[in-house]
């Protein structure tokens, strides 16, 4: 018997749903503090030296943090081709803006200190702010739209058709609930950035980061709770009329989907998933408390726990759906009917089992080597090659 046949198709589908979720959460929590630091730059640093200190806290790590974004996107392409095709088509304009903003960031890092002119450096500082603000906002807006459902359908030959039009691919995403999710994402990124700066800086920069981090944590928590109430009473969820076979063919049109009720009925069906929102609320509250109690490592740790809980709660509530359609519910994509083949998922799992641990070990080693405060003396020392 071929080896991959020993691993159930159902198991591989769930494992890749879980692994891609882990990759995207890892990106949100690591590159999230990069984005938050960029957004905080104009507010916590008032001199050029202070701004250089802030920039050099994330300068050595931001590229490694974006690896999770690349891994997640590549894994979606290979494991869930319909999800990749529809989401990148439907969110095309938003993704274009996100990638443009992300491209600004490395250019700003490299060119900011090439000249000493005030206007020159201020221009690149604004680019770093935009490089944090735009992705943080639009990633949250995208999550909100996934919960609301996306206007697409599948033709009988499974060709995806997005119904939003060119401008609808951007402005059609800016629905009130989605904008609320975007604001939660912004506040969470600022909270993470503040936690990072508390850990990596000292003196006035650290004090200013604390002053902004506390209200950001409360704003993230308030927005998350409001979104939960809105989700419970104002937004319809999705469900199967009959549960599809978990090892069946990857054809969403074989199953009938209902659009009604509430997403939050998932907590009654799978009570254990309540741990995610509990962690989201607890972690955010503890981050707010830790920032105020002058802790240095704990604010970032608690902020990441809160962010993990908030993001994980979305995936766990939606499971097994990964991209519902609000115009043609029967075209909605789920874990059970939108994956690649059994063999493809198995080969990917073998590769992931080899390379993911290496990436994690290397990332941990890099953070260990770079552990410690970034100080003005270190930034001004030409031997450190600081930005």
Per-residue pLDDT, 169: 64
Per-residue pLDDT, 114: 85
Per-residue pLDDT, 165: 63
Q: Residues with Cβ < 8 Å from 318, sequence gap 6 or more?
A: 146, 147, 263, 266, 324
Per-residue pLDDT, 384: 74
Is there a contact between 95 and 135 (Cβ–Cβ < 8 Å)? no
Q: Tell me which residue of 94, 99, 101, 128 sits closest to 113, measured CA to CA.
A: 128
Whether the model pTM is above 0.85: yes
Per-residue pLDDT of the chain (387 residues; tens, 9 = 90+): 567 778 899 999 999 999 999 999 999 999 999 999 999 999 999 999 999 999 999 988 888 888 899 999 899 999 999 999 888 877 888 888 999 999 999 899 889 888 888 899 999 999 999 999 999 999 999 999 999 999 989 999 888 888 766 656 667 788 999 999 999 999 999 999 999 999 999 999 999 999 999 999 999 999 999 999 999 998 999 999 988 899 989 999 999 999 888 899 999 999 999 999 999 999 999 999 999 888 888 999 999 999 999 999 999 999 999 999 999 999 999 999 999 999 999 999 999 999 999 999 988 898 888 888 988 888 888 777 778
Q: Tell me which residue of 362, 331, 29, 315 sits closest to 146, measured CA to CA.
A: 315
CB atoms within 10 A of CB 267: 18
Per-residue pLDDT, 125: 93
* Cα distances (angstroms) measured from residue 232 to each of 65, 174, 325, 328: 34, 20, 19, 22
Q: Tell me which residue of 225, 234, 231 sits closest to 266, measured CA to CA.
A: 231
- Rounded to the nearest 10°, the torsion over CA 208, 213, 215, 218 is -170
Per-residue pLDDT, 310: 97
């Amino acid at each position: 018997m071929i080896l991959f046949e020993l691993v159930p198709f159902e198991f591989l589908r769930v494992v890749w749903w879980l692994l891609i979720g882990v990759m995207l959460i890892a990106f949100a929590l690591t590159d999230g503090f990069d984005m938050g630091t960029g957004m905080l730059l104009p507010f916590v640093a008032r001199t050029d030296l202070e701004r250089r200190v802030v920039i050099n806290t994330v300068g050595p790590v931001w590229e490694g943090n974006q690896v999770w974004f690349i891994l997640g996107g590549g894994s979606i392409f290979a494991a869930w081709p319909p999800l990749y095709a529809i989401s990148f088509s439907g969110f095309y304009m938003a993704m274009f803006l996100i990638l443009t903003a992300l491209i600004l960031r490395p250019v700003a890092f490299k060119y900011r200190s090439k000249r000493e002119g005030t206007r020159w450096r201020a221009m690149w500082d604004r680019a770093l702010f935009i490089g944090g603000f735009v992705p943080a906002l639009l990633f949250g807006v995208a999550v909100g739209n996934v919960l609301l459902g996306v206007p697409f359908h599948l033709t009988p030959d499974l060709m995806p058709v997005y119904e939003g039009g060119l401008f609808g691919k951007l402005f059609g995403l800016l629905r009130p609930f989605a904008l609320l999710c975007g604001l939660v994402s912004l506040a969470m990124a600022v909270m993470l950035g503040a936690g990072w700066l508390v850990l990596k800086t000292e003196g006035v920069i650290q004090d200013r980061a604390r002053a902004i981090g506390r209200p950001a944590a409360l704003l993230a928590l308030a927005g998350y709770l409001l979104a939960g109430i809105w989700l419970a009473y104002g937004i319809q969820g999705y469900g199967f009329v009959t549960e599809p076979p978990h090892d069946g063919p990857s054809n969403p049109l074989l199953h009938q989907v209902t659009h009604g009720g509430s997403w939050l009925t998932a907590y009654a069906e799978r009570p254990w998933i309540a741990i995610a929102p509990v962690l989201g609320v607890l972690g955010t509250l503890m981050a707010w408390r830790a920032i105020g109690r002058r802790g240095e490592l704990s604010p970032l740790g608690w902020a990441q726990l809160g962010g993990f809980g908030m993001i994980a709660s979305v995936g766990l509530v939606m499971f097994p759906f990964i991209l519902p359609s609000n115009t043609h519910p029967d075209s909605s994509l789920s874990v059970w009917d939108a994956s690649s083949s059994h063999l493809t998922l198995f080969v990917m799992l073998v590769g992931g089992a080899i390379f993911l641990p290496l990436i994690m070990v290397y990332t941990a080693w890099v953070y260990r080597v770079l552990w410690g405060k970034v100080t003005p003396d270190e930034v001004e020392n030409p031997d450190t090659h600081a930005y």
